[in-house]
Amino acid sequence: MTELIPAPRSATAGSGEVRLTHRSRLCADTATQGVAHWLGAALRQATGLPLREGRELDDAEGGIELRLAPGLGPEEYRLVSDGSGVLVEGGSAAGVFWGAQTLRQLLGPDAYRRAPLDRDRAWSVPRLTIEDAPRFRWRGLMLDVARHFMPKEGVLRYLDLMAAHKLNVFHFHLTDDQGWRIEIERHPRLTEIGSWRARTKTGHRASPLWEDKPHGGYYTRDDIREIVAYAAERHITVVPEIDVPGHSQAAIAAYPELGNTDVIDTTSLSVWDTWGINPNVLAPTDNTLRFYEGVFEEVLELFPSQFVHVGGDECPKDQWRRSETAQARIRELGLADEDELQSWFIKHFDAWLSARGRRLIGWDEILEGGLAEGAAVSSWRGYAGGVAAARAGHDVVMCPEQQVYLDHRQDPGPEEPVPIGWVRTLEDVYRFEPVPPELTPEEARHVLGTQANLWTEVVEDHARVDYQAFPRLAAFAEVAWSALPAPAERDFAGFQSRMAAHYGRLDALGVAYRPPAGPLPWQRRPGVLGRPIDGPPPHR
């Protein structure tokens, strides 16, 4: 009946349809005016209807009414279309916004276009009642803009695509060995030097191919403000990631004193042009701590998010083992080893952020050497880190690479472009379960939600991001939003049937998704070496 994605909690059909005409109005109370402005702008450009805004509907004209309903949960909504028009009510403006997204789907794929195809066509929605609410409060997408930069307009576009799928956390991976993407006023060389590299490896790091031209870019402070504001209008929280103490060669190239200068000549380092785990990590010195405190001070000015992601992953310890400075710090602090040194580094910023009313979140390596008190964990190396963190009373976002890394290949066929990792089909993602069954109900309450991650080492532009993300992000969105049965019992055939309509929406939005029959000729990358992993991925 509705062909909605993600599937709502309940949908009850009525008889007939509700027409929207040139006389229809769009009405909102004070709390939902922002949603009304967004919905009105989206529908006016797609339909050509004026949809004049007002405070209440005229029974003779009908239209759309948006309002709060105090009895509903914060992101819960109710959509009723009947003889008086369409009513969308929610427990907050966010709930109303998600209901407005459902209304847009009910209007059909052409409601996603930027201009009307036919100004004389009739617009209608079926008469029905939908009651809906999300399963998880963290429904995220991580986008890596450090390996391959995505210009601001592309980021804004992805916020719109997230909103259309009721995803509400944008994890913004801003720094890595291959590029620093955020302007920091007190440390200008981070972008002057760290935001671009001289060349780029094409394909996996074993590939013999290179693109011999500079690559780079960064977001100014005003760009960041715009992105955060644009996301907020769509009830999406932007969680910034500034990587420490590993994945930091771009920063060290800009400021060599941040590296382990007693082990290597850090002045010879440039922004890294290839992929993999980099041995050049931050020195555990007071100077490094003060430098990054300055970075995070500016980050907190720009991002109101409760959470700040500090990375904490893939930090090789070899330089610390050889560094007298690092060893002296281990002795000074009474630490057992380099793992505990990394834990000390993360705990420092956990306390620093907590003192400013924020919360640290990091990849599950922050468990090594002792979990930072108050920190939350992004569990990427399978479920184990998330299980350990939840059992220790820490909040968790489940994003295991074996299940929801969207840079991994979608099919075992030879035509898949630059194949990376395990095969993760649309059905595989649809059957992903974020809450490990071994957790007790009390422990499971620490699972804030789930997130799909899209790394861009071999994903060089927005068309390749689209190809890797869709249609799997639609399946993931349903996993994150809808109260689905156990993985083996999920109706994938029914989801595929609804996807048949959803492909039309993606077409109208200009999304270069992977077609069900396989990549189109221009989506293939013949001759570019990837890193496929054979066999099914480990479940845990």
By annotation, the residues acting in catalysis are: 176, 247, 314
**Taking the CA of residue 76 as centre, how many other CA atoms within 13 Å lie in the half-sphere pointing to its CB?**
10
**Torsions phi, psi of 389, nearest 5?**
-65, -45
SS3 label, residue 175? strand
Written as one string, the DSSP assignment of 394-409 is --EEE--HHHHBTTS-
Q: How many whole angstroms separate alpha carbon 256 and alpha carbon 296?
A: 19
238 forms beta bridges with 170
* Closest C-alpha to 266, from 180, 339, 279: 279
**Torsions phi, psi of 130, nearest 5?**
-120, 130
Written as one string, the DSSP assignment of 462-518 is HHHHHHHHTTHHHHHHHHHHS----GGG--HHHHHHHHHHHHHHHHHTT--PPPTT-
Output helix, strand, coil percentages for the chain, rounded to the nearest 5.
35, 20, 45
* Closest C-alpha to 400, from 142, 115, 71: 142
Q: Do 86 and 14 form a contact (C-beta atoms < 8 A)?
A: no
Q: How many whole angstroms separate alpha carbon 420 and alpha carbon 458?
A: 9
Written as one string, the DSSP assignment of 278-314 is -S--B--SHHHHHHHHHHHHHHHHH---SEEEEE--S
78 forms beta bridges with 89, 131
**Torsions phi, psi of 391, nearest 5?**
-70, -25
Amino acid at position 116, single letter = P
Handedness of CA 301, 302, 304, 308 (dihedral sign): negative
Q: How many whole angstroms separate alpha carbon 399 and alpha carbon 379?
A: 6
Q: How many whole angstroms separate alpha carbon 399 and alpha carbon 414?
A: 27
Q: How many whole angstroms separate alpha carbon 318 and alpha carbon 316?
A: 6
